[in-house]
């Protein structure tokens, strides 16, 4: 690409402004609207699948309209993928620091309050920026600051590894991301804290060093860096830089705290007529006296605030959004469980509405912390409140907590371990607290990678059996059909007795054996498990698409018939129904 080249018959390239991890940025003249814009394209060549993901991500980014975030105007995906963005002639914060040296805490707070507000807006749309740093913050002479470079978020499928993780820029990367975990809203907050730390201290929290030294320190970071020149900003910076993501404030909370530091000052982009200046909070005599009282009463205050906030946690069903796109793994934080032992995140264990963190406890034992997105019942049958598979009877080896989202959804957190040597309910409480913290940030994060096209996730479970086939169980009322979350399970009930049918999907490790007695249902690989004590029989059918996408798991269709049948065999009935449903699976 050269100066003067015209992109999409409209955008005339002017100057190459720079190149980073996400791609190359140019200034360009929009011939149609007669304005200067910024164009960015990724380094990598995009495939057709990448282009589809690029368009979806760009559409999401374009919905973010905030005075302190560079706006996304348009996309071009001809021979190359281009992102068309608002142009700002301002200098980046890293150039300001190189020219002027470190900033006083008050000026850093003024920049921080604006970027925190932009991040809060970004997070509310389910976007994680992934590369907050001084080079991605533009600062004008009048004090306005803007967050830029959404290319890292938009092109994560083009430029990142398969699991969507991104290690960001050394010096500004959260420890959990440096260790290989996916970036989250909490890691964005860490990066903003590291940016403000560098602004007032001269170096980021992990210090300076060679290309390998800083990332190594970040991966092993266990203590919060101690700022020496941050003054009244120091306590907030320590919280934003906490190695435990669940203990960091949200972007909204950090912005509110920063507003207290800047007093009545408002960014030019927030108000055309700023109120007369007032001394920042920490410089007022009344604040200095109150600080002494606060120190004496802080423990009681924290308890009262936590109790009050817990009672005020009311979440709406709208936080879920598209059920297929909602990411259950975004509700778990492996770092919160890391003190108990090494953690492993399982994104494909059970149905598509589920995610697990497995903790390796001493003596070879494993603790499984599971989260499920559940749909509440919509029919009069009594029992558990959810259509999806609920918790089993209490055996002492599991503990469950549920966070409700309006009248439609629930999020179940389960801590499971055979012969537990830990307090499972305390672990479940920790998981539920993490869920609530995520929900307070807004819309549940979207999946970083779409479900595979050949997955059963795209098949409505309720559509696999029709009225004629269900007639094999006359007491079952077809009108009681109840779908589960994402249409990934379906139940049919009897209103006269306890007979019921449950059809659901399961993700299974491809190299692991399927438990049950093998049989053949037509050309379907099938396994049967009978449980007389629970009065049920389960038939498991392996899904074999003609052109399977490469992945470490396979999909199973699982059908269970429960209850006492008159003059019938549960397993014969379950096999008959499973065979009919399997014949409707896509090939």
Q: Cβ(58)–Cβ(71) under 8 Å? A: no
Residues 102 and 247 in one domain: yes
Of 444, 209, 197, the closest CA to residue 329 belongs to 444
Question: Is 131 noted as a catalytic residue in this protein?
Answer: yes
Give dist(CA 347, CA 327) in Å, integer: 9
- Enclosing domain of residue 478: 456-582
Residue 516 resides in a domain = yes
Given the DSSP bridges, would you call strands 409-416 and 517-521 parallel, antiparallel or unpaired? Answer: unpaired
Tokens 């946690």 map to which residue? Answer: 313
Q: Cβ(69)–Cβ(108) under 8 Å? A: no
Residue 196 resides in a domain = yes
Q: Cβ(433)–Cβ(246) under 8 Å? A: yes
Residue 69 resides in a domain = no
**Which H or E run includes 151?**
helix 151-154
Of 249, 251, 197, the closest CA to residue 224 belongs to 197
Q: What pLDDT does residue 37 have?
A: 92
The distance in angstroms from the start CA to the end CA of the chain is 44
Indicate the residue among 387, 415, 440 that finishes a domain. 440
**Which H or E run includes 177?**
helix 175-178
Q: What pLDDT does residue 207 have?
A: 67
Q: Which residues of 108-124 are buried (b: 16+ CB within 10 A; e: fewer)?
A: bbbbbbbbbbbbbbbbb
Q: What pLDDT does residue 394 have?
A: 52
Tokens 């199973």 map to which residue? Answer: 556
Tokens 């394209």 map to which residue? Answer: 41
Q: Cβ(359)–Cβ(335) under 8 Å? A: no
Q: Cβ(470)–Cβ(492) under 8 Å? A: yes
Q: Name the stretches of the chain with pLDDT < 70.
A: 18-23, 43-54, 56-57, 60, 79, 150-168, 207-225, 269-313, 377-385, 389-395, 495-497, 565-568
**Which residues lie across from 413 on neighbouring strands?**
371, 401
Residues 434 and 520 in one domain: no
Give dist(CA 150, CA 38) in Å, integer: 12
* Options 131, 188, 242, 555, the catalytic residue: 131
Indicate the residue among 415, 440, 465 that finishes a domain. 440
Average pLDDT, the chain: 80
Indicate the residue among 416, 440, 464 that finishes a domain. 440
Q: What pLDDT does residue 297 have?
A: 35
CATH number of the domain enclosing 106: 1.10.510.10
Tokens 């034992």 map to which residue? Answer: 365
Give dist(CA 110, CA 142) in Å, integer: 11
Q: How many domains does the chain have?
A: 3
The whole-angstrom distance between residue 418's C-alpha and the CA centroid of its chain comes to 29
Residue 33 resides in a domain = no
Of 14, 430, 262, the closest CA to residue 4 belongs to 14
Q: What pLDDT does residue 113 have?
A: 96
Residues 119 and 267 in one domain: yes
Alpha helix (H) ranges present in 399-535?
A: 424-440, 467-470
**Which H or E run includes 60?**
helix 48-62
Write down the pTM of the prediction: 0.49
Q: What pLDDT does residue 100 have?
A: 87
Q: What pLDDT does residue 419 have?
A: 84
Residues 223 and 365 in one domain: no
Q: What pLDDT does residue 384 have?
A: 56
Residue 234 resides in a domain = yes
For the chain, how many residues are written?
587
Q: Cβ(147)–Cβ(119) under 8 Å? A: yes
Residues 434 and 464 in one domain: no
Residues 124 and 259 in one domain: yes
Of 54, 44, 192, 53, the closest CA to residue 116 belongs to 192
DSSP E strands in 349-472: the ranges are 354-360, 366-375, 398-405, 409-416
Rg (CA), the chain: 27
Residues 355 and 486 in one domain: no
- The encoded tokens of residue 24 equal 């190359």
The SS3 call for residue 372 is strand
Give dist(CA 286, CA 283) in Å, integer: 9
Q: Cβ(157)–Cβ(54) under 8 Å? A: yes
Residue 298 resides in a domain = no
Residues 411 and 464 in one domain: no
CB-CB neighbours of 564 under 10 Å:
10
CB-CB neighbours of 484 under 10 Å:
25
Inter-CA distances, 584 with 521, 546, 579, Å: 13, 14, 9
Of 395, 337, 394, the closest CA to residue 371 belongs to 337
Residues 485 and 515 in one domain: yes
Give dist(CA 130, CA 445) in Å, integer: 13
Residues 337 and 465 in one domain: no
Q: What pLDDT does residue 328 have?
A: 94
Residues 363 and 218 in one domain: no
- Tell me phi and psi for residue 415, to 5 degrees: -110, 125
CB-CB neighbours of 142 under 10 Å:
9
Residues 368 and 269 in one domain: no
Residue 395 resides in a domain = yes
**Which H or E run includes 162?**
none
Residue 329 resides in a domain = yes
Tokens 């709208």 map to which residue? Answer: 318
Distant-in-sequence, close-in-space partners of 109: CB < 8 Å, separation ≥ 6: 196, 233, 258, 261, 262, 280
- The encoded tokens of residue 585 equal 């699976």
């Amino acid at each position: 690409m050269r100066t003067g080249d015209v992109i999409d018959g409209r955008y005339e390239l002017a100057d190459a402004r720079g190149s980073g991890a996400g791609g190359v940025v140019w200034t360009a003249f929009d011939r149609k609207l007669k304005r200067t814009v910024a164009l960015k394209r990724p380094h990598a060549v995009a495939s057709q699948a990448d282009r589809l993901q690029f368009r979806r991500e760009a559409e999401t980014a374009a919905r973010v309209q905030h005075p302190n975030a560079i706006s996304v105007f348009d996309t071009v995906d001809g021979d190359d993928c281009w992102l068309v963005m608002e142009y700002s002639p301002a200098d980046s914060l890293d150039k300001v620091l190189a020219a002027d040296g470190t900033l006083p805490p008050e000026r850093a707070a003024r920049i921080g309050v604006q970027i925190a507000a932009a991040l809060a807006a970004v997070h509310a749309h389910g976007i994680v920026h992934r590369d907050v740093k001084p080079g991605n913050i533009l600062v004008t002479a009048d004090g306005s600051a803007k967050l830029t470079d959404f290319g890292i978020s938009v092109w994560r499928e083009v430029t990142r590894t398969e699991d969507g993780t991104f290690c960001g820029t050394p010096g500004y990367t959260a420890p959990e991301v440096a260790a290989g975990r996916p970036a989250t809203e909490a890691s964005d907050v860490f990066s903003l804290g590291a940016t403000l730390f560098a602004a007032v201290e001269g170096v980021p929290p992990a210090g300076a060093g060679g290309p390998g030294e800083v990332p190594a320190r970040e991966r092993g970071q266990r203590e919060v860096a101690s700022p020496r020149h941050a003054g009244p900003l120091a306590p907030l910076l320590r919280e934003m830089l906490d190695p435990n993501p669940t203990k960091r404030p949200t972007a909204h909370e950090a912005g509110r705290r920063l507003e207290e530091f800047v007093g009545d000052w408002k960014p030019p982009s927030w108000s055309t007529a700023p109120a007369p200046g007032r001394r920042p909070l920490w410089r007022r005599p009344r604040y200095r006296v109150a600080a002494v009282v606060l120190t004496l009463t802080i423990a009681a205050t924290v308890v009262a605030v936590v109790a009050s906030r817990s009672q005020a946690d009311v979440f709406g069903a709208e936080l879920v959004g598209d059920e297929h796109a909602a990411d259950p793994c975004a509700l778990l934080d492996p770092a919160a469980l890391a003190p108990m032992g090494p953690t492993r995140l399982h994104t494909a264990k059970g149905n598509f509405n589920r995610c697990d963190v497995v903790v390796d406890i001493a003596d070879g034992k494993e603790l499984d912390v599971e989260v499920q997105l559940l749909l509440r019942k919509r029919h009069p049958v009594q029992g558990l409140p959810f259509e999806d598979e609920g918790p089993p009877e209490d055996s002492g080896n599991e503990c469950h907590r549920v966070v409700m989202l309006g009248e439609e959804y629930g999020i179940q957190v389960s801590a499971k371990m055979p012969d537990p040597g830990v307090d499972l309910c305390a672990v479940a409480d920790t998981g539920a607290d993490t869920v609530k913290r995520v929900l307070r940030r807004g819309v549940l994060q979207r999946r970083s990678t779409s479900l595979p096209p050949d997955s059963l996730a795209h098949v409505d479970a309720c559509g696999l059996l029709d009225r004629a086939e269900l007639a094999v169980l006359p007491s079952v009322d077809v009108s009681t059909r109840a779908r589960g979350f994402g249409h990934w399970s379906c139940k049919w009930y009897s209103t006269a007795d306890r007979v019921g049918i449950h059809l659901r999907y399961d993700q299974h490790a491809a190299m692991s054996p399927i438990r049950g007695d093998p049989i053949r249902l037509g050309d379907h690989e099938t396994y049967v498990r009978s449980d007389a004590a629970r009065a049920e029989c389960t038939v498991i059918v392996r899904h074999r698409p003609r052109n399977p996408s490469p992945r470490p798991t396979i999909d199973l269709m699982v059908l269970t018939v429960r209850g006492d049948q008159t003059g019938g065999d549960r397993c014969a009935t379950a096999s008959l129904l499973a065979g009919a449903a399997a014949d409707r699976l896509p090939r």
